Structures are given as structure tokens and as C-alpha cells.
Chains A and B, each alone.
Chain A
Amino acid sequence: MDKQEVERRIKKVTAQVLGVPESDINAQSGFASDLGAESIQAIQLVAAFEEEFGIQMDEEEALSVSTVGRAVDFIHKVVQEQKGG
């Protein structure tokens, strides 16, 4: 799975969980600072990403990821490690 695909799916999930338009989400968007995610929603996002990509993330590491762009890098890395592609 390439990073573009990861980014596309992260934006789709983020829009669904946070109830924001996909067009409002870009790589620089901060989940909390720009998209309004509160702590409970951050936890929901982690869970939703795990379901979307079929991966397991360390919750402390995942919750420290603050922007969409960093999420793309983080999740792409986890997908490579756990699913080999």
C-alpha cells in the first residue's frame, strides 16, 4: 500500500469519525488543533484506523501523533511492518 492510498483512507476515516468534510483535511491538519478532536475522539480515531487498516497500534505511540501528515507516515510504517506492504 503506498502513502497516497494511506493518506486517502486516513482522510476518509477522519472525516467520518470527527464529522468534518474531507475537503477540510490536509497533511498539515492537526487532529486536535485544526479538526477539533477531543481526547475521546482521539481514542476513537486510533481504533478506527486500526479497523480500517487491519493493524494494531501501540496506543501511547499512536496518540502522540498530532497531524494527518505524521499519521500517514506512522500508519504506513505500521502497515509495512505488520502486513508487509
Chain B
Amino acid sequence: MKLVIFEDDRSANFYPLALSRPVFELRCGMDDLAAKIVRWAGVSADAYLVRDYLVDTFKARSPGKVNDLSGLRGQVLAVNGRLLAGSDAKPPGDPGAYWLDDGALGWLLTDKDLSAVADYAALAKVAEGEPKQPCAAKAFKYIWDVMLASVEQIAVDFKSAGRSGIEGSVEQPSAIRGSKGDVYIAPGAEVHPMVVIDASAGPVYLDEQVEVHPFTRIEGPAYVGPKSILLGTKLREGCSIGPVCRVGGEVEESVIHGHSNKYHDGFLGHAYVGEWVNLGAQTSNSDLKNDYSSVEVVLNGKKINTGSTKVGSLIGDHTKTSIGTLFNTGSIVGAMGIIMATGSVLPKSIPSFAWFLNGATTKGFGRRALYQTAKTAMGRRKKEWTDADQAMWEHIYELTRNERETAIRRGRRQFLGRA
């Protein structure tokens, strides 16, 4: 059987994180949605279908074909990348098209020739010709749903990984609470003295070459990715930290993608943070309203009730905040932004490529300066900013133009006291 993982046409619901990655690369638990689909299907992915502008950057890191299903012979299982694989639904045994409640294709099991299929629309057209069935799997609807599910997924993924024990080092005095079977410290991981790992409420997985500095407390469920460093952190329950991150201060039930830094004090709760983000000292977010009501988020210009009392900030790739930045409950902060604190809580919606200065979105020093900063940040971790990256971000710049220009016009009026 060949496995294809595809994005459907709902990617915008996962902005700003899905601006620069396929939806199935969103982290949830210990890994991303695609990794869970592969485990559930029991085979590696042979091909992927993604939005056109993501092809070149995704191809560079993907082992399978991208937007090219030619050469897939025999039975093909195509799975929607926003499904939470393993959620009480087994892979289909009978050929057919299995549709989600929201009208999108969940999965397709077929022997048909898919060589002419290069995008979701074409795949859905093929699926429409197949026997129609309901898809039992859970599908994420919005980016905050992925964040909220991550806590439970850490425990599910820990069990799947089937590892426990200490293969790295734990210096004394340190303490491990809860069952030792719920703690895994991978080879090369170093836990310095004066650290508490509390697995009494959920498992803790410290991946390879993680460093945990003194006075860190880690509450499970928790996952910390390879080469990340915790610096006297209060890592409250439910955190999933990607690789090569620097995390300090207090973090609770949050997902942080790789190569991001929250080095200093400040509270991050129920947040979803992209790659290459830098949160300046004392950057904090609110994740709970004072009246305990459900948090509303403004996504793509529409106000949406999340149905959850706890949603923090959702921050796109490459955004940087100044010291003392305060994000409101349910904030959406676009990608590739420079955000300066104002002393007050910032607006709930800041567009991508914004230079947010003195309380207003501006053009700042332009996007070339932002790309240079991104290149510099990546270079510090020995990663290259490629032509494919540049082309992708140019596309995202155009995609996010309208929202940003509306905010810029408002900002201009503010500077002249005309707002």
C-alpha cells in the first residue's frame, strides 16, 4: 500500500503557523501530525500534496514526492494531514472515499491511477467518484485545537515511543517524582543539579542532547526536543518544545516549534509558537480572561469563539518581540514580524511582516530587513536561508498584504492623531 498525506483547502484556519508549512507539519504532542499518520498507517509516506507555494521548501526536507503522484502503483491510501491519526479510528479496510463532517475528504483508499493528481482539488474529484462513507477520525479545525490537543498527545506519543529510563545523565541533587517508567532521558541529555522532574501527572521525555539547567522544574506531560536547553524554567504541564530551542521563565501547555527562543523570564501559556521566533525578556501572554469566559480569536478577519477558556498567543515563524511585550488572550501574531512593547496589552491581531512600533503597524524598514534578520538568525544555528525560502516568503508577503495594509493605514492615522 502507498501512503499519500495531503493538505485540504482549510489551511487558512491554521494561520499564522500554516503560512510557512503544510498543516501536517504542525507539532502536536511529541511530533507532528504527519508522523502520527505514518505510525497509524504502518507505512512511510510515499508522497504529499501541499499548497503550490510550499512545494520547493517542503521538497528540500521531505523524503517523498511532493505534488507528484506519478509512479504510485497498486493500492493508495491518501490521508488528510489535519487528522489526528489514531483517534479511535483504524485505517480503512474497504476501498472508498471517507468524508469528514465539514465536507472535506478524510481519507481515500483506492486502486485508481492517481498520476494526474497534483493537488487536493484533483484528489477530491477522484474521491467523488468512489463509494462514499463517513470518516470516523477526528480532524482539527483550527490551530488552537492542535495546541489544546497537544497535552494529551504527549502521553499518547510517549506510550507509542515505548522508551523509559535514564540513558543520559542526571546530576545530584535532583529529584524525580512519580513513576520512573514515566520518565525518559535520552542519550546525551544532561540534567544539571537542583532540577525537579515531576512525572506524577504525566510522562516526561527529554530527547537527545537536551540540557536542563539548575532550578528547572519540569511537570509532565512534557516533551523537550533534541538540543534544546531549559534555563531555570518553570515548565508547567503539557509543554511540547521542538528541537534547538532555548526556554526560560514560565511556560504552560504550550507548543513551541524548533529553533525558537524564550530565553528569559515571562509567562507563555496555552500558546502555539512557530519556528525561529525570539520572545524578548518579560514577553508574556494572557491565556485566561478575567471573567473566565471562552476566548475569542480574530482569524482571517473573522471573530471566532474558540470554545475554550484557555487560549494564549498564536505566533508565526520568524517573529521577534521586544522586552516587556504583552499579548492579550487569544492573540494572533503573524509571521516575520517585529513587535515592540508599548507598556500595555497589544492588539489581538497583528499581521504578518508587521513592524509593530509605538502601538501601530508600520512598514518599518521593509521586508528586506526582515529577511536579513531571518538569515542572520538562521546562520547563528548554522542553517541556510535559501532561494526557495525567499520565494516562499515573498508569496506569503503577497498573501498577507491586504490585512497588513489595512493595519498600516490605521497606524498612519494614529500617528497624526486622526484615528
Residues of A within 8 A of B (CB): 13, 16-17, 39-40, 43-44, 46-48, 50-52, 58-60, 63
Is the pair A44, B415 in contact by a Cβ cutoff of 8 Å?
A: yes
- Asked whether A51 and B357 contact (CB < 8 A) given A16-B417, A43-B364, the answer is no
Asked if B340 CB lies within 8 Å of chain A CBs, one says: yes
List the one stretch of B131-139, B172-180, B199-207, B406-414 in contact with chain A. Answer: B406-414
Interface: B116 (CB within 8 A): no
With contact pairs A43-B357, A43-B364, A59-B365 given, residues A50 and B412 touching in the complex (Cβ less than 8 Å) = yes
Contact residue among A47, A58, A59 (Cβ-Cβ distance under 8 Å from B411): A47
Within 8 Å CB of B408, what residues of A?
47
Question: Would you give 19 A-B contacts (Cβ < 8 Å), ordered by A?
Answer: A17-B416, A39-B365, A40-B340, A40-B357, A40-B358, A43-B355, A43-B362, A43-B363, A43-B365, A47-B360, A47-B408, A47-B411, A47-B415, A48-B412, A48-B416, A51-B413, A51-B415, A58-B366, A59-B366
Tell me the nearest residue of chain B to A50, going by C-beta: B412
- Complex CA distance for A51 and B412, rounded to whole angstroms: 6
Q: Interface residue tally of chain B, by bracket?
A: 20 to 34
B418: CB under 8 A from chain A? yes
Residues of B within 8 A of A (CB): 340, 355, 357-358, 360, 362-366, 368, 408-409, 411-413, 415-418
Given contacts A40-B357, A43-B362, contact A60 B416 (CB under 8 A): no
Q: How far is the CB of A64 from chain B (nearest CB, A)?
A: 11
A52 nearest in chain B by CB position = B416
Given the complex, which residues of B lie within 8 Å of A50, measured CB to CB? 412
Specify the chain A residue showing the minimal Cβ separation from B418.
A51
Q: Measured between C-beta atoms, what is the minimum distance from B153 to chain A in Å?
A: 41
CB distance from A54 to the nearest CB of B (A): 10
Of B340, B364, B408, which is in contact with the most chain A CB atoms at under 10 Å from its CB? B364
Distance between B397 CB and nearest chain A CB, rounded to angstroms: 13
- Nearest chain B CB to A84's CB is how many angstroms away? 21
Residues of B within 8 A of A40 (CB): 340, 357-358
B340 to chain A, nearest CB (A): 7
Point out which of A39, A46, A47 has the most chain B C-beta atoms below 10 A from its C-beta: A47
Alpha-carbon gap, A44 to B355, bound state (A): 11
Interface contact B415-A48, CB-CB below 8 Å: yes
A10 vs B222: C-alpha distance in the bound complex, in angstroms? 56
The CA-CA distance from A17 to B417 in the complex, in Å, is 10
Q: 6 nearest interchain CB pairs? A: A51-B412, A59-B366, A48-B415, A59-B363, A47-B412, A40-B357
Q: Which of A40, A43, A48, A58 has the most C-beta atoms of chain B within 10 angstroms of its own C-beta?
A: A43
Bound state CA distance, A46 and B412, in angstroms?
9
The answer to whether A44 and B362 touch (CB under 8 A), given A50-B412, A51-B412, is yes
